Amino acid sequence: MCEPGYWVMNVKTYATDEELFEDLRRTREAADSAVGPEHSQYKVGTYYARFMPELGFIIYGEILDPIQEEIDAGADEEEVEFQRYFRDQPHMEHYKYTKSYSVACVEGEYGDVHVSTMNVPLTKEEFERAQDLGWPVHPKELFEQVLKLRKMREVPRT
C-alpha cells in the first residue's frame, strides 16, 4: 500500500462513454506522437526516472517482462495467453510494464507506463543509489548522485 497524502488527482467527467473513450484515444495519440528514437532504449531490465512536477517528486522504475511476471506469480496458461493477447494490442505499443517507486510508494507499485514519460535511463547502480537515498524528490538531487556515480566509473584504475 502506498503512503496516503501524496496523491494529486485531476478528475474529469464525461457526459457519455463515447466522450470518455474519445478523450482516452486523443491522450494516447498525443503520448504516442511524443515517442522518439531515444525511447527505443527502454526495454525489459531498464531502470528509469520520471519527473513529475505536478506531484512534486520523481518516480523511479524498472521495466519488467509482463509475461514472466504472470508465470512467476503462478498464472495458468489461460491467464498467460490473455496477457500475451493484451500486450499485442496496437494501443499497448508504447506502454511498458513496470514496478515504480517514489517517496509516496517506497515499496513499489506495478503498472503500465508510457515510454514518452520516461525521462532519464538509469543504470542499476544509479537506481539502487536513489533507493538508498529514499527516492530523491528533486531532479537536482538525482543528477548530483548520478554524476557522482558516473564520474567514479570514469576514474582509471591502476
Concatenate the DSSP letters of all residues of 48-63 into one string. EEEEETTTTEEEEEEE
Pairing mode of beta strands 120-122, 47-52: antiparallel
Query: Distance between CA 71 and CA 77 in Å, rounded?
Result: 9
The tens digit of pLDDT for each residue in 25-44 reads 999 999 999 999 999 999 99
Residues pairing with 52 in the sheet:
57
The model's pTM: 0.81
3-state secondary structure of 82: helix
What is the chain's mean pLDDT, rounded? 88
